[in-house]
Amino acid sequence: MKQLLSWLTIFFTILSIAQKSKKDSILQLIQKNPSTEETVRNLNLLSTKYYKRQPDSSIILAQRSLRLAEELRYKDGIYSAKANIVLARFRQGDFEDADVRLKELLQAGELDNYAQKSILFALGEVYFKKQILDSTLKYSLATLKASERSNDPPERLLVYHNNLSIDYAQKGYLDRAIFHNLSAIKLDGLLPEDLNRKTQLYINAGNMYRLVGGYKNALKYRQLAYETAKRLGIDRMIALAAVKLSESLLDVNKPKESKEKLDIASTYISGFSGQGEIIENFVYVTRAYYYKTIGDYDKAIDYYKKGMEVAEKAANKQDLLFISNNLAELQIELGLYNEAEKNLERALQIQTGVGDLISEKETYLLKARVDSIQGDIHSYVQSNWKYNQLKDSIASENTAKAIAQLEIEYETNLKDREIELLNLENENKETDQRRMRIIQISLATIVILLLILAFIMYKSNTSQKKSMVTIRRQNKENKLLVQETHHRVKNNLQIILSLLNVQASNLNSHPKLDMALAESRNRIKSLALIHEELYQHKTMSSVNSKFYFSRLIKNIMDSMVDSSGKINVVHNIDDAEIKMSIAVPMGLIINELLTNAVKYAFEGKESGTVNVTYSTNDGYHELIVGDDGVGFKDCSKKNYSFGLNLVEGLTKQYGGSFSIHPEKGETSFTVVLKEV
């Protein structure tokens, strides 16, 4: 994710999705038909377009829309206008609880796609500004879905696809980020030409392809961005496109052409302010990359340091982290270990404010290299352990990303997307072949050295020591085998979950069927989660109860978007290591009881609270799920749902007890399992 936040900042400063002529035409429609529902919608549309750069104007337009909608008794127009007012005032710095206010609007009543879309869009923008990226993605996807149901024009769909592209890139879902970026580019081709918008869309495509190693595609889109920027004639855009193109030319080993574009970018950056510092930093860092490529390391170091000065002046932590890592890597190659260590310490201090796992992993890898060279064994062990921990975490996350299904209804122009990804795959194959040849040569050398070492060890070691080596190796292999087994089981469960999602999207909507499929998916998720915890955990037979059950509860509530917004879940979970034989049934039971409470306990109530308590003592595990809802009317077994029958069956299977206390306002379900 190197420098990802920097180019996202530029995107929001430079991009102008709507043309001025389009705004003028909307104003003409408003003047022509001043008192219609169409006028309400046009006023809301203008309010949305102005909210980032002119929030005062956005509020005035939304208030005018609200007054007219109230006169016409146009309910959906009223809610859309209220959402725009909240969004614009949040942009001004008011309404810290903007997300709460918007959710209240969303739950106010039966709203059509138009009103829902306005509120969902505002929620996505608020969460993006707050850097709560999981919620940003959820509401951005919901906005696109509502927009497609409304048959919105290409201009609106382009905005939503582009927002999703940026959201996914920030979260690291680069395949989906590329897909939505390409969708936005295709929609751009259906609209009157806007060179500013087109340039930025091309730049974004190049940035994302480079992040996944697709250097040829990155070069293609950056070349298009540069050509379009020259037609546009805006200095800032030409400079940005030129420096990005220069970087891609270095990636494909064309230093001469790269320097030409760098020199062009440098002629434009003088006189910039604000985001100009970011572009200036891009120029310095790319120039350092250029000099490193041609072997002039002194100049490379000088330009890294210049870039660091600019980043410090702008308080840009992301750029400081990126430059510190790259400068340290170069200093290690040159044998400047003390200087490298100082830059790595700087990088570790910056990490707290950035939260970039990939850059943090690289920092610890470089730190381990320095520690190894300098003979600091204690520090090396710590750095290497931290690196491997981050590597495993990121690898696990990427596995989950790879099998998570894209929403089927968003996959327009699928063949074109497949062609783009196939080109990327071919590029990666070429890179992999080159790496494989290097690895084969290295392996041959290592094998020879190992044979020599094995011969020496055979002569010097006793048979007892050799046996111990064999035992340790077998134990390690067994541990890896068990870990891989859990990993594959989790992946297979995720694949089953994806297949269920795809099947559900292809069936006609039916409330009972949708509910049954959702419950089945949650059961599968709870099983997948336990295997994920096991293969990531330091032991293969137990998990941490507090961490596992907390994640499980969050996943359940996130999956119930329509029902869970008004419900507060409070959990009190013991912090203990518990065996898989208890974690599996207890996870399924929590899933059933919490789902049951969310679905049925608060019918007719505006809000409510569910309390989940788990404790363990002397081999006994107690779970209590209570709520302050309407009560359990008939707790006889003949009225048990499938979920409650499952809870009772699991409890009996594990020699435990299950009881229900159905009092209104104090309903609770208690499960006690005995460890065997």
| Token pair belonging to 532 | 């994920």
pLDDT, position 605: 80
Eight-class DSSP state of 571: E
Q: 98 pLDDT band (50/70/90 cuts)? A: confident
pLDDT, position 10: 40
Q: 16 pLDDT band (50/70/90 cuts)? A: very low
Q: What angle do CA 408, 409, 412 make, to 5 degrees?
A: 95
State yes or no: pLDDT of 115 exceeds 60.
yes
Averaged confidence pLDDT in the chain: 75
Specify the residue for token string 């909507």: 509
pLDDT, position 450: 65
**For the residues 520-540, what does the mean pLDDT come to?**
61
State yes or no: pLDDT of 65 exceeds 60.
yes
For residue 101, give the 3-state DSSP assignment.
helix
pLDDT, position 221: 94
pLDDT, position 602: 81
Specify the residue for token string 């094998």: 447
**For the residues 88-98, what does the mean pLDDT come to?**
83
pLDDT, position 240: 87
State yes or no: pLDDT of 226 exceeds 60.
yes
Query: Measured between alpha carbons, how far is 479 from 137 in angstroms, rounded to an integer?
Result: 37
**For the residues 521-543, what does the mean pLDDT come to?**
62
Q: Which residue has the higher pLDDT, 429 or 307?
A: 307
Centre a 10 Å sphere on the Cβ of residue 605 and count the other Cβ atoms it contains: 12
Query: Measured between alpha carbons, how far is 326 from 340 in angstroms, rounded to an integer?
Result: 10
Sign of CA dihedral 287, 292, 295, 300: positive
Residues in the chain: 676
pLDDT, position 409: 33
Q: 413 pLDDT band (50/70/90 cuts)? A: very low
List C-alpha distances in Å: 538 to 389, 533, 548, 673.
10, 10, 14, 25
**For the residues 239-261, what does the mean pLDDT come to?**
91
Cβ(94)–Cβ(55) under 8 Å? no
State yes or no: pLDDT of 420 exceeds 60.
no
State yes or no: pLDDT of 541 exceeds 70.
no
Q: Which long-range contacts (CB under 8 A, 24 or more apart) does 170-173 make?
A: 170/1, 170/4, 170/5, 170/8, 170/133, 171/133, 171/134, 171/137, 172/1, 172/358, 172/397, 172/398, 172/401, 173/401
State yes or no: pLDDT of 298 exceeds 80.
yes
H or E stretch including 617?
A: strand 608-617
State yes or no: pLDDT of 378 exceeds 50.
yes
Query: Measured between alpha carbons, how far is 68 from 66 in angstroms, rounded to an integer?
Result: 5
Q: 256 pLDDT band (50/70/90 cuts)? A: very high
Residue 584 CB contacts under 8 Å (≥ 6 apart), including other chains: 527, 530
Write the pLDDT tens digit of every residue in 230-241.
998 888 888 889
Query: Measured between alpha carbons, how far is 382 from 185 in angstroms, rounded to an integer?
Result: 46
Q: Which residue has the higher pLDDT, 154 or 430?
A: 154
Query: Measured between alpha carbons, how far is 407 from 501 in angstroms, rounded to an integer?
Result: 9
| Token pair belonging to 19 | 């043309």
User: Would the pTM of this model clear 0.75, i.e. be above it?
Assistant: no
Q: Are strands 608-617 and 657-661 parallel, antiparallel or unpaired?
A: unpaired
| Token pair belonging to 444 | 């041959």
Specify the residue for token string 């250097």: 215
Q: 586 pLDDT band (50/70/90 cuts)? A: confident
Q: Longest Cα pair distance anywhere in the chain, in angstroms?
A: 98
Of 3-7, 167-171, 315-319, 621-625, the poorest mean pLDDT is in: 3-7
Radius of gyration in angstroms for the set of CA atoms belonging to the chain, rounded to a whole number: 29
Q: Which residue has the higher pLDDT, 23 or 557?
A: 557
**For the residues 299-304, what does the mean pLDDT come to?**
90
Q: 257 pLDDT band (50/70/90 cuts)? A: very high
Write the pLDDT tens digit of every residue in 132-184.
777 887 888 888 888 888 788 888 888 888 888 877 776 667 778 888 889 99
List C-alpha distances in Å: 339 to 310, 348, 442, 515, 581.
20, 15, 30, 60, 51
Of 292-301, 398-407, 538-547, 570-579, the poorest mean pLDDT is in: 398-407
Using a pLDDT cut of 90, give the percent of the chain over it: 8
